């Protein structure tokens, strides 16, 4: 047992009773727990507030002044002590509810004290309840910063304040044995990046010696947290790379070249070409490709998927592409069939509604290898779907599939197929690196040329006539319109628009066109039927909930109207907006909002009107909502229990931490359990560690991640 594992009751100033209280209320049972319970904010002790500066939203602040008088009020449990306190120009009231006799005699009128507490206003009078009181020595005015700890009510009621913890931490640092505490980072890493040593960092987090030192202390703790997390994730994914073999696709062959040279309907963008090269490189290594392809809506992911499938086919394998809905699968089928016909490949569609006879033929064709490409929905996962030689699985719009479902696709061939996961929800890099670990990420960051940008407007209820006029004009020009609502049914508690009432209204306003409706509460068959009305162009307006968010392609649609836009997340709005701008000369996205939205909401919606760059939007979204809420991360299995680091803002530290982890793994393949056959082939530098540092890392990894979970495996 080390010093830090010592029971907290043995710390000077604690004992049995307080020890139990700390354990119950603050989860502090050992010295280490205390040391790692950090202040949640810091106060500049040289800054005194004037009562005239008080506002209702202030946290605890310092006031310098004198007590004028003390009076007791009430009887029994209602008894309280009040004092008038002056800062020299104004007065406030101080209230104590417990230990009244003690406080009455504790402070002398006429002397200067520093009060520390949260100002609250009662009627017109500013008050502070149970402030911390310290005497003031004009010859030694306070300087520097102090940490403020969060203290639960139960402790406060017993008269404890934030000072309880700072006093205890001080006692801990006065214990000579604390010098024995080992640094948790290897010495080589500390010196390479000039990080603050552990003890100094801990000290500065509790008692900052300067703002600069506090910053360095924080950086070090964040680095440490991210470093071990990255090391853990990367170690697993390398392990996986060794364990799981992949098909080797050595050549670019006839189908690929024939299609590329003679039939491709457009010049690939630079980004599409680059991504194809990245994929090609993966597929000839002998490791199984596990690649996430991110590309904004309309960036041309389908063609990349198709060309990748051709690589598999050229090497004698079959390819599958799986979409989350029947509508999407059908669209992919038609697109891919059109492309494949040119070069004589057989493509089939398999969904829940494929008839028994056709289904049987497809099963047969997959088994005997006569089907080259199968497009489908979840139906592809079923056990009776067997392949002759599945070499590649493409999964579109990955966040609609659960991890377990994706894993099933693996089992369809002896050697796991290469996997390409495509998503239009741009995940900020920092998040992707943490959630998906060593999963290779490709990004199509360029739209095909000639796209007309979508004009986005924020409009309010009283602009409706103007908005309907725009819709009318587009209808006259032969275009189609999406209108999205947050709810299916009106709801008394929520003042939001619903698709059912919307349908009636829109039919009334545009009586000459057919209006159809889809929402998540419909039966799938009914939904498909309504959707088909819109895809075929028979219905000109589609009113819907966000079920239309993913992938639907109706190039003739030119307006996306979103009701109660203030209720949607930015990434969701971006997805919805991506449904238009796919063909029409000009497209519009109109965000309808109620009139009285707050500043934050206005700012959020302002991002939508300012940019169409999915990555910018996604990063802004992450900064505003925090990474835990990001779409696509919920099912990933990672708990966002980072204590000090913040994925939204600490991208730079994360980069360095990851780089360091990579270099260490390059130099120390012994961190990976499965022995390598030959040499691992990872690029990047090497950081060689001493034996002592290697042991240190092993210990830390064990402490932090003894529950094994392979985060890197996404498919
Ligand atoms: P997404 O990435 O959203 O799935 P799609 O693959 O559906 O995008 O492509 C959107 C549209 O752009 C399709 O009509 C597709 O044919 C077209 N497209 C794709 N790549 C190019 C390109 N390089 N040049 C021109 N048009 C392209
Ligand atoms: Mg797509």
Encoding tokens for residue 247? 């098909």
Q: 382 CA distance to ligand 2 centroid (A)?
A: 23
Encoding tokens for residue 453? 């940008």
Question: 459-463 — which CB contacts under 8 Å span 24+ positions?
Answer: 459/590, 459/591, 459/592, 459/593, 460/592, 460/593, 460/594, 460/595, 461/592, 461/594, 461/595, 462/595
**703 band by pLDDT with thresholds 50, 70 and 90:** confident
**439 band by pLDDT with thresholds 50, 70 and 90:** low
**196 band by pLDDT with thresholds 50, 70 and 90:** very high
| Report for 6-20, 227-241, 282-296: range of highest mean pLDDT | 6-20
Encoding tokens for residue 185? 């980072």
Q: 582 CA distance to ligand 1 centroid (A)?
A: 9
Specify the residue with its C-alpha closest to ligand 1, atom 16: 300
User: E-assigned strands of 446-577?
Assistant: 454-460, 480-484, 515-518, 541-544, 557-562
Name which residue leads in pLDDT, 683 or 221.
221
Q: How many CB atoms lie within 10 A of CB 46?
A: 11
Query: How far is Cα of residue 295 from the mean position of the Cα atoms in its chain?
Result: 17
Residue 397: left (phi > 0), alpha (psi -120 to 50), or beta? left
Encoding tokens for residue 144? 């520097």
Q: 30 CA distance to ligand 1 centroid (A)?
A: 59
**Has residue 290 got a pLDDT over 70?**
yes
For 499-533, the pLDDT digits (tens) are 999 999 999 999 999 999 999 888 878 888 898 89
- Ligand 1 atom nearest the C-alpha of 268 is 23
Q: 269 CA distance to ligand 1 centroid (A)?
A: 10
For 71-89, the pLDDT digits (tens) are 999 888 889 999 999 999 9
The predicted pLDDT at position 448 comes to 87
Ligand 1 is surrounded, with C-beta below 6 A, by 266, 268-269, 272, 295, 297-303, 424, 448, 553
- Ligand 1 atom nearest the C-alpha of 299 is 2
* Stretch (H or E) spanning 442: strand 440-444
**305 band by pLDDT with thresholds 50, 70 and 90:** very high
Q: 553 CA distance to ligand 2 centroid (A)?
A: 8
For 131-189, the pLDDT digits (tens) are 989 999 989 888 888 999 988 888 887 778 888 999 999 999 999 999 989 999 999 99
Q: 232 CA distance to ligand 1 centroid (A)?
A: 37
Q: Which of 218-222, 293-297, 456-460, 465-469 has the lowest mean pLDDT?
A: 293-297
Q: 307 CA distance to ligand 2 centroid (A)?
A: 14
The predicted pLDDT at position 125 comes to 92
Encoding tokens for residue 546? 């966000």
- Ligand 1 atom nearest the C-alpha of 553 is 7
Q: How many CB atoms lie within 10 A of CB 3?
A: 15
* Stretch (H or E) spanning 621: helix 614-625
B/e letters for 328-342, b = 16+ CB within 10 Å, e = fewer, are bbbbbbebbbebbee
Name which residue leads in pLDDT, 523 or 547.
523
Q: In sequence order, which residues have a C-beta less than 8 Å from that of residue 353 and are 6 or more positions away? A: 326, 525, 528
Name which residue leads in pLDDT, 674 or 53.
53
The predicted pLDDT at position 449 comes to 85
Encoding tokens for residue 311? 């690589």
* Stretch (H or E) spanning 693: helix 691-705
Q: How far apart are the C-alpha atoms of 533 and 542, rounded to whole Å?
A: 9
- Ligand 1 atom nearest the C-alpha of 578 is 3
**Has residue 486 got a pLDDT over 60?**
yes
Specify the residue with its C-alpha closest to ligand 1, atom 10: 298
Specify the residue with its C-alpha closest to ligand 1, atom 20: 300
The predicted pLDDT at position 310 comes to 97
Q: 303 CA distance to ligand 2 centroid (A)?
A: 9
Q: Which of 165-174, 442-451, 539-548 has the lowest mean pLDDT?
A: 442-451
Backbone angles phi, psi at 277, to 5 degrees: -65, -40
As a whole-number percent, the residues of the chain with pLDDT over 70 amount to 91
Calculate the average pLDDT of the chain: 87
Name which residue leads in pLDDT, 297 or 230.
230
Q: Which single residue is written with the structure tokens 């520097």?
A: 144
Instruction: Pick the closest to residue 92 from 34, 133, 51, 54 (CA basis).
Output: 51
The tally of CA atoms less than 13 A away on the side-chain side of residue 200 is 15
For 615-640, the pLDDT digits (tens) are 888 888 877 766 655 544 443 434 35
Which ligand sits closest to the CA of 579? 1
Q: In this structure, are strands 418-423 and 145-148 parallel, antiparallel, or unpaired? A: unpaired
Angle at 339 between CA 333 and CA 343, to 5 degrees: 125
Task: Pick from 295, 448, 452 the residue to mutate for probing ligand 1's pocket: most ligand atoms within 8 Å of its CB.
Answer: 448
Which ligand sits closest to the CA of 295? 1
Q: How far apart are the C-alpha atoms of 305 and 443, rounded to whole Å?
A: 13
Q: In this structure, are strands 373-376 and 347-350 parallel, antiparallel, or unpaired? A: parallel
Specify the residue with its C-alpha closest to ligand 1, atom 22: 448
The predicted pLDDT at position 648 comes to 75
Under a CB-based contact definition with an 8 Å cutoff, are residues 70 and 82 in contact?
yes
Burial degree of 614 (CB within 10 A; 0-12, 13-18, 19+): buried
Q: In sequence order, which residues have a C-beta less than 8 Å from that of residue 424 and are 6 or more positions away? A: 294, 295, 296, 297, 299, 301, 397, 550, 551, 575, 578, 614
Q: How many CB atoms lie within 10 A of CB 602?
A: 12
The predicted pLDDT at position 517 comes to 94
Task: Pick from 274, 275, 300 the residue to mutate for probing ligand 1's pocket: most ligand atoms within 8 Å of its CB.
Answer: 300
* Stretch (H or E) spanning 593: strand 587-593
Give SS3 for 612: coil
Angle at 489 between CA 486 and CA 494, to 5 degrees: 65
Q: Give me the helices (H) in 184-321, please.
A: 187-192, 198-206, 211-243, 254-258, 270-283, 301-314
Q: 552 CA distance to ligand 1 centroid (A)?
A: 13
The predicted pLDDT at position 435 comes to 66
Q: What is the pTM of this model?
A: 0.69
For 111-129, the pLDDT digits (tens) are 999 999 999 998 889 999 9
Specify the residue with its C-alpha closest to ligand 1, atom 19: 300
The predicted pLDDT at position 635 comes to 37
The predicted pLDDT at position 550 comes to 63
Q: In this structure, are strands 290-295 and 41-44 parallel, antiparallel, or unpaired? A: unpaired
Using CA atoms in the order 367, 371, 372, 373, what is the torsion angle rounded to 10 degrees? -100
Which ligand sits closest to the CA of 327? 2
Q: How many CB atoms lie within 10 A of CB 242?
A: 16
Q: 340 CA distance to ligand 1 centroid (A)?
A: 16
Backbone angles phi, psi at 396, to 5 degrees: -95, 140
Q: Which single residue is written with the structure tokens 């730079």?
A: 652
Q: How many CB atoms lie within 10 A of CB 508?
A: 9
The predicted pLDDT at position 638 comes to 43
Under a CB-based contact definition with an 8 Å cutoff, are residues 208 and 214 in contact?
yes
Q: How far apart are the C-alpha atoms of 262 and 250, rounded to whole Å?
A: 22
Task: Pick from 267, 292, 302, 578 the residue to mutate for probing ligand 1's pocket: most ligand atoms within 8 Å of its CB.
Answer: 302
For 400-420, the pLDDT digits (tens) are 555 555 566 666 667 788 989
**Has residue 677 got a pLDDT over 80?**
no
- Ligand 1 atom nearest the C-alpha of 444 is 2
Specify the residue with its C-alpha closest to ligand 1, atom 4: 301
Specify the residue with its C-alpha closest to ligand 1, atom 25: 448
Q: How many CB atoms lie within 10 A of CB 449?
A: 8
As a whole-number percent, the residues of the chain with pLDDT over 90 amount to 54
Name which residue leads in pLDDT, 179 or 613.
179
Under a CB-based contact definition with an 8 Å cutoff, are residues 339 and 331 in contact?
no
Specify the residue with its C-alpha closest to ligand 1, atom 9: 300
Which ligand sits closest to the CA of 302? 1
Q: 641 CA distance to ligand 1 centroid (A)?
A: 38
What is the radius of gyration, based on Cα positions, of the chain? 32
Q: 333 CA distance to ligand 1 centroid (A)?
A: 15
Encoding tokens for residue 26? 């603050």
């Amino acid at each position: 047992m080390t010093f830090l594992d010592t029971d907290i009751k043995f710390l000077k100033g604690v004992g049995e009773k307080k020890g139990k209280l700390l354990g119950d209320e603050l989860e502090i049972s050992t010295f280490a727990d205390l040391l790692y319970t950090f202040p949640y904010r810091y106060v500049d002790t040289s800054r005194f507030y004037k009562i005239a500066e008080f506002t209702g939203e202030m946290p605890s602040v310092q006031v310098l002044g004198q007590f004028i008088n003390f009076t007791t009020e009430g009887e029994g449990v209602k008894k309280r002590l009040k004092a008038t306190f002056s800062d020299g120009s104004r007065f406030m009231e101080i209230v104590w509810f417990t230990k009244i006799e003690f406080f009455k005699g504790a402070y002398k009128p006429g002397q200067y004290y520093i009060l520390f507490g949260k100002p609250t206003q009662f009627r017109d009078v500013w008050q502070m309840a149970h402030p911390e009181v310290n005497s003031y020595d004009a010859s030694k005015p306070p300087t520097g910063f102090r940490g403020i700890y969060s203290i639960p009510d139960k402790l406060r009621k017993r008269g404890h304040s934030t000072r309880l913890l700072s006093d205890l931490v001080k006692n801990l640092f006065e214990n000579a044995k604390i010098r024995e505490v080992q640094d948790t980072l290897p010495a080589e890493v500390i010196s390479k990046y000039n990080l603050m040593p552990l003890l100094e960092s801990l000290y500065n987090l509790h008692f900052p010696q300067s703002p600069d030192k506090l910053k360095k202390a924080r950086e070090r703790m964040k680095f440490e947290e991210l470093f071990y997390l990255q090391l853990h994730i990367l170690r697993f994914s390398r392990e996986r790379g060794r364990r799981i073999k992949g098909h080797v696709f050595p050549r670019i062959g006839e189908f690929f070249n024939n299609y590329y040279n003679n039939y491709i309907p457009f010049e690939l963008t630079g980004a599409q070409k680059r991504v194809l090269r990245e994929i090609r490189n993966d597929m000839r290594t002998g490791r199984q490709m596990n690649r996430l392809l991110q590309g904004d809506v309309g960036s041309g992911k389908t063609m990349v998927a198709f060309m990748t499938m051709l690589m598999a086919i050229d090497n004698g394998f079959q390819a599958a592409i799986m979409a989350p809905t029947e509508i999407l699968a059908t669209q992919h089928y038609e697109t891919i069939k059109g492309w494949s016909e040119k070069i004589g490949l057989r493509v089939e569609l398999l969904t829940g509604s494929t008839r028994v006879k056709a289904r049987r033929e497809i099963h047969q064709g997959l088994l005997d290898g006569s089907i080259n490409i199968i497009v489908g929905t979840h139906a592809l996962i079923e056990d009776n779907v067997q392949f002759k030689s599945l070499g590649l699985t493409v999964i579109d719009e990955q966040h609609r599939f659960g991890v377990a479902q994706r894993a099933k696709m693996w089992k369809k061939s002896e050697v796991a197929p290469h996997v390409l996961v495509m998503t239009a929800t741009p995940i900020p890099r920092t998040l992707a690196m943490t959630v998906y670990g060593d999963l290779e990420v490709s990004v199509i960051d360029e739209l095909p040329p000639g796209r007309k940008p979508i004009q986005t407007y924020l409009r309010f209820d009283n602009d409706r006539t103007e908005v309907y006029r725009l819709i009318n004009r587009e209808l006259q020009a032969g275009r189609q319109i999406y209108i999205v609502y947050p709810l299916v049914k009106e709801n008394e508690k929520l003042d939001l628009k619903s698709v059912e009432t919307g349908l009636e209204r829109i039919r009334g306003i545009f009586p000459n066109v057919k209006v159809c409706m889809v929402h998540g509460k419909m039966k799938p068959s009914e939904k498909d039927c309504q959707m088909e009305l819109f895809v075929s162009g028979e219905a000109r307006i589609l009113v819907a909930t966000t079920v239309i968010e993913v992938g639907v392609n109706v190039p003739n649609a030119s307006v996306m109207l979103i009701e109660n836009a203030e209720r949607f997340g930015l990434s969701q709005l971006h997805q919805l907006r991506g449904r238009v701008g796919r063909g029409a000369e000009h497209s519009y996205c109109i965000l309808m909002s109620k009139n009285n939205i707050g500043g934050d909401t206005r700012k959020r919606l302002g991002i939508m009107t300012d940019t169409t760059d999915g990555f910018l939007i996604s990063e802004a979204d992450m900064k505003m909502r925090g990474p835990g809420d990001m779409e696509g991360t919920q099912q990933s299995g990672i708990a966002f229990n980072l204590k000090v680091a913040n994925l939204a803002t600490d991208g730079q530290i994360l980069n360095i931490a990851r780089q360091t982890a990579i270099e260490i793994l390059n130099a120390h393949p012994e961190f990976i359990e499965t022995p390598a056959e030959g040499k691992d082939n990872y690029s990047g530098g090497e950081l060689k560690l001493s034996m002592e540092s290697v042991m240190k890392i092993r210990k830390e990894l064990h402490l932090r991640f003894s529950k094994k979970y392979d985060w890197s495996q996404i498919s």
